[in-house]
Amino acid sequence: MEELKKEVWEANMLLPKYGLVTFTWGNVSGIDREKGLFVIKPSGVDYDVMKPEDMVVMDMEGNRVEGHYKPSSDTPTHLELYKAFPEIGGIIHTHSSYATSWAQAGRSIPCYGTTHADYMYGDIPCMRCLNKEEIEEAYEANTGHLIVNYFKESGRNPMDVPACLCKNHGPFAWGKDPHEAVHNAVVLEEVAKMAYRAEVIEPRIQPAPQELQDKHYYRKHGANAYYGQDTK
């Protein structure tokens, strides 16, 4: 697990490097599916002093099996996504300002151009805010359930749109490994910024033509992309 701890630590170090977080916000994890264990950032530890050996090792029941710090507060959300989607190898949560602004507004990010289409097929969905019971019962786990249920009910492939927004909270992104998850979080923030500015420039803006979205996504990802019925 030392190798995975180092990989997850390196991925977490990219959050401040790419300006995706301030202070101790956000977190990245990575999973070893053969061992049935995943590694996540420790809760509340400053990135400036964080070391690979500070990473926390968790099992698939949510128990800490190794580590001298508490695991990230968002660990239950990561766990639900790992359990539901076996193709996911790394997950990131940030408070990057443009994506978080769309999340706070409760809006999905439409695909307005090829930069978006190259990475995310269709709109980047925003999950509803959890209700009082869900918040009080288990906010982070229920956030994970909400994301999982969205993809299962919509039929959208989470690897075709490897990110989502959680209303009144912020973005989650994922990938085949922790570094790809970080890459997708950086793309998400850039796409969120471009989309906001495009709407300011032209409030009547419409999503990019479907054939342009298809061309760009298929060119990059092949024909496994599925475009769910829920997207306009």
Ligand X SMILES: O=C(CO)[C@@H](O)[C@H](O)COP(=O)(O)O
29 contacts ligand X (rule: CB under 6 A): no
For residue 74, the minimal CB distance to ligand X (Å) is: 5
Calpha distance 181→158 (Å, rounded): 12
Reduced to 3 states (helix: H, G, I; strand: E, B; else coil), residue 65 is strand
User: Which is catalytic among the residues 118, 214, 218, 230?
Assistant: 118
Calpha distance 81→194 (Å, rounded): 28
Give the range of 2-10, 68-76, 126-134, 219-227 binding ligand X by CB under 6 A. Answer: 68-76
β-sheet with 90-93: strand ranges across = 64-66, 56-59, 37-40, 27-32, 90-93, 170-175, 163-166, 126-127
Site for ligand X in 78-97 (CB under 6 A): 93, 95
44 contacts ligand X (rule: CB under 6 A): yes
Beta strands 90-93 and 27-32 are: antiparallel
For residue 43, the minimal CB distance to ligand X (Å) is: 3
Using CB under 6 A, pick the residue from 1, 32, 43, 208 that binds ligand X.
43
25 contacts ligand X (rule: CB under 6 A): yes
Q: Which of 48, 43, 57, 73 is nearest to 6 (CA)?
A: 57
41 contacts ligand X (rule: CB under 6 A): yes
Size of the site for ligand X (CB under 6 A): 12
Catalytic positions, written as ranges: 118, 227
